[in-house]
Amino acid sequence: MKRAYLLKSILLILFSTTHLLAEPVRLVMVGPPGAGKGTQATQLAEHFKIPHISTGAMLRDHISRSTELGLKAKAFVDSGELVPDHIIVGMLEETLRANGDGFILDGFPRTLAQAKILDQMVERLGMPITGVVHIAVPDEVVVERLTGRGRKDDTEAVIRRRLEIFGEETTPILSHYRDQSMLLSVDGVGSIQEVQSRIRTALASHRHGATAVGKGS
């Protein structure tokens, strides 16, 4: 009787402390507009019980509230151009600082310069990124998906511009993270659930020490 009680207590203590031993999950999502980053990030955030931080959503929120930051960012967001770094970086650092227990970052970095800013930021905050999830989707699929989404910056011309920017500005960050063995590339064509399970599988093997996961492109 006494031994059973002792065993139960030990198990309870173990269960209640394992989350303290686990490393926080800090992921970055990368992919062209319409790759499903937001949807996949939301599901990952629910699964890991950590917040989904989307720079695009934060900017849209500022724009809708007509804050000083929102007024500065509006013309860029409406035309599909990148908002200048100095407008966005302070907002991001403040948010990351408030989320020491982990996060899913969606929409940042979008350029090699931003990737380097993020490297320095997480180093300064002592919050290393644990993995970079790249959702790969061909352009035709993206245009087809986005024209049906109905957001203000989802007209075909703006979508094409955002895709162009992705190709020119964002693609270089993939090799930046691949060189650091942080890149997990998954095929983004398929159902939401299929892609989610590919991401989870890639993350699980990454955490168990594999360096090359997925297609690696």
Kindly list the residues in this chain that would bind ligand AMP in the complex (CB under 6 A). Answer: 33, 54-56, 59, 76-77, 80-83, 88, 107-108, 110, 114, 162
**25 or 173: whose CB is closer to ligand AMP?**
173
CB of 144 to ligand AMP, least distance (A): 16
**81 or 139: whose CB is closer to ligand AMP?**
81
Region for residue 44 given its phi and psi (left: phi exceeds 0; alpha: psi -120 to 50; beta: otherwise): alpha
**42 or 76: whose CB is closer to ligand AMP?**
76
Tokens of 45: 């955030």
Name the one residue in this structure whose structure tokens are 């930051």: 69
**162 or 198: whose CB is closer to ligand AMP?**
162
**18 or 120: whose CB is closer to ligand AMP?**
120
104 bridge partner residues: 27, 52
Q: Can you list the positions of beta strands (E) in the chain?
A: 25-30, 52-54, 102-106, 131-136, 183-187
CB of 14 to ligand AMP, least distance (A): 40
Contact criterion met (CB below 8 Å) for 58 and 91: yes
Which residues, other chains included, contact 122 with Cβ-Cβ below 8 Å and sequence gap of 6+? Answer: 26, 96, 128, 129
CB of 6 to ligand AMP, least distance (A): 53
CB of 212 to ligand AMP, least distance (A): 27
CB-nearest residue to ligand AMP: 56
Contact criterion met (CB below 8 Å) for 119 and 67: no
CB of 60 to ligand AMP, least distance (A): 7
